């Protein structure tokens, strides 16, 4: 009985790049993955796929059949691994913001503009609105849905949604002006 790899080797020697690619993938996908994983690449599966994608366009000019493909595959894999480490070195370390460790005690400009510093923020203004007003604002402004989509969700006509939105924004504006002391 013949060795299946030897049969693929014989087929791969022919001019058909698809057969060579299939033989190379079947023979070397596991070893390329193992090499990348052993070298500490974060996502060795994705990089393995990138390596084979980089191999495919080069198959027509490749000589040496399956052995030539193996050499080229591991050359590409090594280059991808080096690229991974170079990128990692250049990427700054991200640190999570922990508000309880922040020594600043002055409220931010956003907090002052939206009234969050006083404890009555936008959510406080919205809580005072009627349920339908809150719903239409949440769907139209926050979720950025169209009038048609909002009407379908709320079970109302498009005209009713437009009217509800106009009234909700008017009520919201009135509450914001009253809160800021403007009549």
91-104 pLDDT per residue, tens:
888 888 887 787 77
What pLDDT, on the 0 to 100 scale, is given for residue 15? 65
CA angle 113, 115, 121 (to 5 degrees): 125
What pLDDT, on the 0 to 100 scale, is given for residue 95? 82
* Mean of pLDDT values over 149-153: 91
The answer to whether 33 and 77 are in contact (CB under 8 A) is no
Residue 10: is its pLDDT beyond 50? Answer: no
DSSP-derived letter for residue 91 is S
124-139 pLDDT per residue, tens:
677 778 889 988 988 8
The answer to whether 38 and 71 are in contact (CB under 8 A) is no
Buried b (16+ CB within 10 A) or exposed e, 43-71: ebeebbebbbebbeeebeebeebbebbbe
Residue 29: is its pLDDT beyond 80? Answer: yes
63-83 pLDDT per residue, tens:
888 999 999 999 999 999 999
Query: Of all residues in the chain, what percent carry a pLDDT higher than 70?
Result: 80
Residue 59: is its pLDDT beyond 60? Answer: yes
């Amino acid at each position: 009985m013949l060795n299946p790899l030897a049969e693929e080797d014989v087929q791969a020697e022919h001019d058909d790049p698809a057969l060579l690619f299939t033989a190379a993938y079947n023979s070397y996908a596991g070893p390329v993955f193992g090499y990348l994983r052993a070298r500490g690449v974060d996502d060795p599966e994705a990089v393995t796929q990138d390596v084979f994608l980089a191999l495919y366009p080069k198959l027509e000019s490749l000589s040496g059949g399956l052995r030539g493909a193996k050499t080229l595959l591991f050359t590409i894999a090594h280059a991808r691994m080096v690229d991974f480490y170079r990128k990692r070195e250049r990427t700054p370390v991200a640190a999570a913001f922990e508000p309880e460790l922040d020594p600043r005690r002055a409220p931010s400009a956003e907090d002052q503009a939206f009234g969050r510093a006083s404890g009555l923020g936008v959510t406080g203004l919205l809580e005072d609105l009627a349920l339908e007003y809150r719903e239409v604002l949440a769907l139209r402004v926050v979720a950025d849905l169209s009038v048609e989509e909002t009407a379908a969700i709320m079970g109302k006509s498009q005209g009713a949604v437009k009217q509800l939105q106009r009234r909700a924004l008017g009520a919201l504006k009135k509450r914001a002006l009253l809160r800021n002391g403007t009549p």
